[in-house]
Chain A
Amino acid sequence: MGNRLAESILLLGFVGIGATLYLAFLKAPSVSINAFESPDAQRIFYWHVPAAWAAFIAFGILFVGSGLWFFNRSALGWRMHVAGAEAGLATGLMTIWSGMVWGSAEWGVPWDWTDVRLNTFGLLTFLALFLVLGRQAQPDGVETRDTFSTFGLFGFVLVPVTYVATRLWQIRHPGPVVGGGESGSLNGEMAVILLIGAISFTVFILGLVLMSMRITSLEQRLESLQEAMDKV
């Protein structure tokens, strides 16, 4: 029952993301040619911003899960850590890919190594990659979990730094469009499509986290069953 619910949430999120792409590509109003070098590429914003939002949720889950495991030895906390790292990697890569496509069209280069926002977010995604690959390469145990949880706890400091980066050190990445004062205002239709995207990505990340937690639980069950059989 729980599995079917998680699968349904994940599929619903996926359909929502597809709908967001359709709306962004074909229904969203065009932006002024004076404001952007490549106005068409601006449509990628309806994918990029919600993906980054979902990545922050995933890294929040990673942080909470790491803390629950490290301080309370909570099995649920470890499952949240694993799910947060996998979901953070998926949404982090989506954000980086969409940003690089936009950067190529707007700036002429896909990446700017001097921009704080780009580099801190890149480090966050790299952290998620390290946690996902590291867990697969190491035997499961308390020491392994403690090590990866420590990275999950300390790595989270990059989230607030990434969030405030464009406010404190705006170099190339555009400033905030939501909650950024008058400079970040959106017209009604744009805001609605962005909201649909944010809801879709939130639902998708929720389904992904639930499914990933279930997979970790199944892996642990299979391992204990095999150990029990080996003892016989």
Chain B
Amino acid sequence: MTYLAVAYLGMLISIGIWTWTVFSRSNDLEQRITAVERHSPKNKPKSVVFLNPSSDEQE
């Protein structure tokens, strides 16, 4: 009976680890996509050009 209990627990733990791996792979990819999108040039704010009033006057 002991070996059977060990085998059952081993199977349950293995399947639990597999399930956890699936969750962590999904979360890891989501975080990496968020990070890439944050640094994507498309998402960077457009630069604002401040004109120097004095330069206008010189022209």
Q: Which residues of A contact B (CB under 8 A)?
A: 3, 7, 10-11, 14, 17-18, 21, 25, 40-41, 43-44, 47, 90, 93-94, 97-98, 101, 105, 208, 211-212, 214-215, 218-219, 221-222, 225-226, 228-229, 232
Give the Cβ gap from A36 to chain B, nearest Cβ, in Å: 13
Q: Are B4 and A215 in contact (CB under 8 A)?
A: no
A215 and B26 contact, Cβ closer than 8 Å, known pairs A40-B1, A40-B4, A43-B4 = yes
- Mask of B32-49 contacts with A, CB within 8 angstroms, 1/0: 110011011100000000
From the candidates B5, B12, B29, B39, name the one contacting A222 in the complex (CB within 8 A).
Answer: B29
Cβ B22 vs Cβ A215 within 8 A:
yes
Expressed in whole angstroms, the minimum distance between the Cβ of B4 and any Cβ of chain A is 6
Selected from A7, A40, A221, the residue in CB contact (under 8 A) with B23 is A7
| A residues less than 8 Å from B10 (CB atoms) | 97
**CB-CB nearest 9 A-B residue pairs:** A218-B29, A101-B7, A225-B36, A211-B22, A232-B41, A222-B33, A215-B25, A14-B19, A215-B26
Asked if A14 and B15 sit within 8 Å, CB to CB, the answer is yes
* Cα of A123 to Cα of B22 in the assembled complex, Å: 24
Q: Given contacts A44-B7, A208-B19, could you give 9 more A-B pairs where the C-beta distance is less than 8 Å?
A: A3-B26, A10-B23, A14-B15, A25-B8, A93-B14, A94-B14, A97-B11, A215-B29, A229-B36
Q: Which residues from B are CB-within-8-Å of A18?
A: 12
**Which residue of B7, B11, B14, B40 is within 8 Å of A225 (Cβ)?**
B40
Flag if B40 contacts A229 (CB, 8 Å).
yes
Q: Complex Cα distance A97/B6, Å?
A: 12
- Contact indicator B36/A222 (Cβ below 8 Å): yes
Q: What are 12 residue pairs bridging A and B, where the CB atoms are less than 8 Å apart in the complex?
A: A11-B19, A40-B1, A90-B15, A98-B11, A101-B3, A214-B26, A215-B26, A218-B26, A218-B29, A225-B33, A229-B36, A229-B41
Q: Is the CB of B4 within 8 A of A41?
A: yes
The reply to whether A21 and B25 contact each other, CB–CB distance below 8 Å, is no
Q: Which residues of B have CB within 8 Å of A221?
A: 33
The residues of A that contact B18 with a CB separation of less than 8 Å are 90
Contact B5 A25 (CB under 8 A): yes
Q: Which residue of A lies closest to B10 (CB)?
A: A97
Q: Contacts A17-B15, A225-B33, A229-B40 known; A211 to B5 CB distance under 8 Å?
A: no
One of B8, B32, B33, B36 near A21 (C-beta < 8 A): B8
Closest chain B residue to A3 by CB distance?
A: B26
Q: Chain A residues with Cβ under 8 A from B1's Cβ?
A: 40
Q: Which residues does chain A contribute within 8 Å of B40, judged by CB atoms?
A: 225, 228-229
C-alpha gap A41/B7 in the complex (Å)? 10
Closest to B41 in A: A232
Cβ of A47 and Cβ of B11 under 8 Å apart?
A: yes
